[in-house]
Structure 1
Amino acid sequence: MDSLNGFVVFVQVAETRSFVAAGRLLGVSASAVGKSVARLEEKLGVRLFHRSTRSVTLTAEGMLFLERSRRILAEIEAAQQELSHASSAPRGRLRVSLPLVSSLVLPVLGEFMRAYPEIELDLDFSDRMVDVIEEGFDAVVRTGEPVDSRLSARRLGTFEMRVVAAPEYLAQRGTPQVPADLLHHTCMHYRWPTSGKLQTWALRQAPGEPELQLPTSMICNNIETRVCFALQGLGITYLPEFAIHEPLADGRLTLILGDYVACSGVFHVLWPASKHPSPKVRALVDFLCAHVFPNAVAAG
């Protein structure tokens, strides 16, 4: 058990980058934390942290050991949960990374909190590609197909992309009839956080036609800004349909170039692969699959 406690202390220090903060969370002194880490380093025969008066950072060996330690602690937690009563309520902290699509996930997460009051949600909203295991997430929701063999995945559902604008904008500037008409309009774009490139508007064109270099009247890195500006009649933008379902239904936004848009996407929920995922992770995965796209057929 002393060795297990050493793993817990090490992971806490690695996540907080501070002996003092780790001690505060664990209910012990910073000195006790330092001694525990020192004993672990002596036992392993490697230095796990670079220490200075200002910071505590992981060594290369420490980064490797952190990944393994998280797996060990996750397996121990899962084993403990398996040995407890199957009917016991899922509980504990659940660290989840989610895309910057609050309109899609926030209502569902609110329902999840009501259904599982003993689960403490720790939510990180970002469109960047996180390392689920290295950064200690219990689960992530992302678009695209899963590529990390260390992760299990379930499909949440698909969505279509749409080109839209407010009726006021179209009344003033005219309605594009073919993709090339966009060259004479105010176009609002999304920039991918990982590459810095602008999202391509996937529009069907005749064979041999060059790719359109659309005007870049506004660039941002989230959905809400483009929805807001489009509703104000400031331009045309390219958005997932789930983010603009209500404005399209009530007429505040108008669908344009519908016959030319040729793009759809898929959401997955991913979590570290394990024979025995914890009840809290299973609860979240099942809940998201049932409620994010309620009419979709979830697949592994």
Structure 2
Amino acid sequence: MSNTDQPNPVPGTVADAQSGNWVDRYAPDWLKPYARLARWDRPIGIWLLFWPCTWGLALAAVANPARGFDWIACVLMFIGAALMRGAGCTFNDIVDRDIDMQVARTRSRPIPSGQVTAKQALIFLVAQALLGAIVLFQFNRFTVIAGVASLVLVAIYPFMKRVTWWPQAFLGLAFSYGALVGWSSQTGGFSVAILLVYFGTIMWVIGYDTIYALQDIEDDALIGVKSTARLFGSKTRPIVGGFYAGAYLLWLVGAIMAGAGLVFFFLSLVAGGLLAWQVWTLDGKVPENPAARFKLNHYVGIALVLALLAEWVW
């Protein structure tokens, strides 16, 4: 079944959200459109934004075991990830409202379906950004400046699918930034080790978002939206495999430079295995196959942070 043949979702719900999610079941009616704008009904994006933050925090603990893992910063960064992911999605939906009307998977989103206006969405965007700023200002000056600088990446990302075949690379620059924020919140600066982890995370994001984009490849071709899924075509599996291999290698080298050893190496193989399985079993022609592989990256994030924490404890 192609995207254009997908059945319409239940009125008021979103086609690509899991049926019976907590927003649809429990959120008050006035909140539901805004919760859908922020993707609270699809929390995978929050986790994918949050895990690099924890990698930065855990890597800083490995580099200086006496400092320990900052659990308070971890909680703050989870709240910040939820707010900024919601703000980014809201901004993306404002910018893409005309495109979303033409794609089966996205035309049921709150703005194109008329549940909220662009003006209401903009007010919601500002509210989330202000709350996110309150969280950010709990950290040191360097981290605050770095966090504010990342907003440039967030702002330009929604426009990239119109001008380049590599919008996934720009998403990678923005979604990987948490690694830098996590590290700098503990160290007051950057290092070669965390930069390697950051670049590895960019490659990871390019890989998983290419898999995600396979869901829309037919509609994107019809309306002229660019993506790496369209660019790679029949070579998507080996190219994604190359990005995943590069990501794992950079994570490994970055962690070793920060002081990680055999404990991290062996436990991180779990994350490497999950990446390899995604590529091995990926089939863009099978409905739900790309979505399931994309969501598996949540467990890649968990595996890496646990490997770093185990190294720190050891």
What TM-score results when the alignment is normalised by the length of structure 2? 0.21
The structure richer in strand per residue is 1
TM-score (norm 1): 0.22
Structure with higher helix content: 2
